[in-house]
Amino acid sequence: MTGPDLVGLGTHAVWAKVEGSQTNAPPVVFEGPLGGPVELWSYLQRELARDTLTVSYQRAGTAPSTRAPGPRTAPKLAEDLGELLTALGIDRPVVLVAHTFGAMAAHSFAVRWPDRVHGLVLVDPMHPGELMRSAAQRKAMAQLEAALVRSGVKTLLRRGRGAAAASFDWLPAAERESLSRCLDHPRTWFAALSELVAWKNSAGRFAGGFPAEVPVVVLGSKPRLGRDKVAQALVGELTAASARPAFVMVPEESAMRLTADSPFGAATVDAARYLFAEVTA
């Protein structure tokens, strides 16, 4: 595959972008935040495609990916990821780089299929129990839920087109235009909403630690964790759930900038390359 394309997963299809080629280093797969388009991974994917095969994709419902049946729980998202890797012919263990909400899907995948995972990079990850145990997170998620509904309705009415993508000024123009098409589609917002609702309905269920053989690097956004001590403790709990952990606190204003072409995005690249050395040593 030379560019983004729809990959069939039986009942639905996901928009996937493959760059790089197979090398001695494990393939890298990016698992995005709520409603996360592939463009958010552009910088990291370009960088890591110099080393190995890389895959970014948009989960079911995030336009142009098609809708999938049933609740979009973390185990179901993990199943989709497994089917995508099979459809792409990737039969080697991968390094999963997961952002915020995507960390729950990555964790679920690693627990269910540890033999398919070489390592995890969790970028400002959310904990499955965060909504149950953090009052600040419950308040933030209630506000986010309302915002997702508003954005979905606004795009249905074709209002404010291009506004959502305007804040991603660090993306090249062509990628920002592609991102805008995704964010101007109501399906994208309602897909994010369905994932958020599924999380709310299963909040507090933590499938246990990471497989002992899987190394885990956690990158924390200092401003977010500094504001919420419970979230800080939960990220520490996630880190401690690994038998082979590493934790890096990044002094970044926005977790999204951990994927951008910046010193903070470079920290995420370095974390993936650290795992290359871990698994190829």
Cβ–Cβ < 8 Å for 12, 68: yes
The reported pLDDT for the residue numbered 91 is 94
Q: Where are the domains of the chain?
A: 5-280
The reported pLDDT for the residue numbered 122 is 94
Residue 105 neighbours by CB under 8 Å, 6+ apart: 31, 59, 74, 77, 78, 81, 98
Could you give the CA distance from residue 29 to residue 47 in angstroms, rounded to a whole number?
13
Does the pTM exceed 0.85?
yes
Cβ–Cβ < 8 Å for 199, 104: yes
CA atoms within 13 A on the CB side of 71: 10
Could you give the CA distance from residue 4 to residue 25 in angstroms, rounded to a whole number?
23
pLDDT in tens, 245-280: 999 888 865 666 778 777 778 889 999 999 998 754
Cβ–Cβ < 8 Å for 264, 255: no
> Per the CATH hierarchy, to which homologous superfamily does domain 5-280 belong?
Alpha/Beta hydrolase fold, catalytic domain (3.40.50.1820)
97 bridge partner residues: 30, 121
The reported pLDDT for the residue numbered 112 is 93
Strand order in the sheet with 13-19: 5-8, 13-19, 54-58, 28-31, 94-99, 117-123, 216-221, 245-250
Closest C-alpha to 151, from 19, 35, 26, 273: 35
The reported pLDDT for the residue numbered 105 is 93
The reported pLDDT for the residue numbered 280 is 47
Q: Which residue has the tokens 């920002």?
A: 176
Burial of 248 (0-12, 13-18, 19+ CB in 10 A): middle
The reported pLDDT for the residue numbered 281 is 47
Could you give the CA distance from residue 217 to residue 242 in angstroms, rounded to a whole number?
9
Closest C-alpha to 189, from 65, 18, 35: 35
The reported pLDDT for the residue numbered 204 is 56
Give the C-alpha distances (Å, rounded to integers) separating 43 from 103, 113, 247.
19, 28, 22
10-residue averages of pLDDT along the chain (281 residues): 79 94 95 87 93 96 90 92 96 95 93 95 86 77 87 82 71 81 87 88 69 92 81 87 90 71 84 82 47
The reported pLDDT for the residue numbered 144 is 83
The reported pLDDT for the residue numbered 177 is 82
Could you give the CA distance from residue 183 to residue 204 in angstroms, rounded to a whole number?
30
Strands (E), the chain: 5-8, 13-19, 28-31, 54-58, 94-99, 117-123, 216-221, 245-250
